[in-house]
Amino acid sequence: MRVRPTLSWTPADDLPPGTTDLEPVVEALRAGGVLVLSGAGISTESGIPDYRGEGGSLSRHTPMTYQEFVAEAAARRRYWARSHLGWRTFGRALPNAGHRAVAAFARHGLVSGVITQNVDGLHQAAGSEGVVELHGSLERVICLSCGTVSPRRELAERLEEVNPGFSPVAAGINPDGDADLTDGQVGDFRVVPCAVCGGILKPDVVFFGETVPPQRVELCRGLVRQASSLLVLGSSLTVMSGLRFVRLAAGAGTPVLIVNRDPTRGDRHALTRVELPLGPALTTVAGRLGVTVGDAAA
């Protein structure tokens, strides 16, 4: 039986109210040294749903846990069938105005760094450099036996070869690149082993139930300590992997600003939470700062 990860958070009635006033965000960016922490909400305008917002994927989809993946061959077959199909759509997603605005802010020296909880690579596709991928990336695959890291496109080609004609119609796509398929649609999908040692292959992402590598966490902590302010974009901060950095910033007296349409677990630590759609909001901020948000990376 699949155990649903503990991923929910119920907002308290006494949380600070949201606002539509973007001026605190404008002023923080104008001062420079802003560290961006982004979540799934920044990618929704690229056609990738978030986990917890209206229509979020958790209402219909239980993400794979690390424990289930390593313990059950059937779970790995189900995961790779769904992920292989989802990759075809996920890999075609393009950065939106929110991603492009973050990259533009960095080019103008207003942003000191980007930490993303997303695994979609859209910040980099928009032109952001030095992005810390807190939860890894679907662009890479790692062998759990020998540690070899290889490009996802190579695995996709191998899976196509051993599963010719695999093209069921999915009910939807999820933030982790997983397509919604029934067990019947998964069928007898074939999984391939590591080409080096024959071991088990896993996407180079942090599954639910798995810990973020300590050195990556420490890198992020260093970025938070050096930042003039922390700008959270499109994250509910429900899980500790992102919330800890908000708490670290607030504890050090570093201003925390959040742009998210729904209440977040970090609202008590924030100077403000702007409840506007990210793309239009960040485009407006860029306009006030005289920063041009182009259609592609410069």
Where are the domains positioned within the chain? 18-48+96-135+211-298, 59-92+137-205
108 is catalytic: no
CATH architecture of the domain 18-48+96-135+211-298 equals: 3-Layer(aba) Sandwich (3.40)
Average confidence (pLDDT) over 46-59: 62
| Overall fold of domain 59-92+137-205 | SIR2/SIRT2 'Small Domain' (3.30.1600)
In whole angstroms, what is the distance from residue 135 CA to residue 241 CA?
9
Residues paired with residue 36 on neighbouring β-strands, in sequence order: 114, 231
Is 32 within any annotated ligand binding site?
Answer: no
Cα atoms in the 13 Å half-sphere on the side-chain side of 155: 29
CB < 8 Å & 24+ apart, contacts of 209-217? 209/5, 209/65, 209/66, 209/67, 209/68, 210/65, 210/66, 212/134, 212/135, 212/241, 216/132, 216/134, 217/244
Burial of residue 214 (CB within 10 Å: 0-12, 13-18, 19+) is: exposed
| Closest of 80, 6, 10, 44 to residue 280, by C-alpha | 44
Biggest CA–CA distance in the chain, Å, is 56
Write the DSSP symbol of residue 272.
E
* Range with the poorest average pLDDT among 62-71, 107-116, 200-209: 62-71
More confident residue, 47 or 249: 249
The residues, any chain, with a CB within 8 Å of residue 115's CB and separated by 6 or more, are: 35, 36, 37, 38, 131, 132, 134, 220, 223, 245
Least confident of 19-33, 34-48, 170-184, 202-216: 170-184
Instruction: Quote the pTM value.
Output: 0.89
Is 167 annotated to bind a ligand? Reply is no
Q: Is the per-residue pLDDT at 268 higher than 80?
A: yes
Catalytic residue chosen out of the listed positions 61, 99, 123, 135: 135
pLDDT for the residue 180: 85
pLDDT tops 90 at residue 178: no
Is 39 annotated in some ligand binding site? Answer: yes
Q: Is 45 annotated as a binding residue?
A: yes
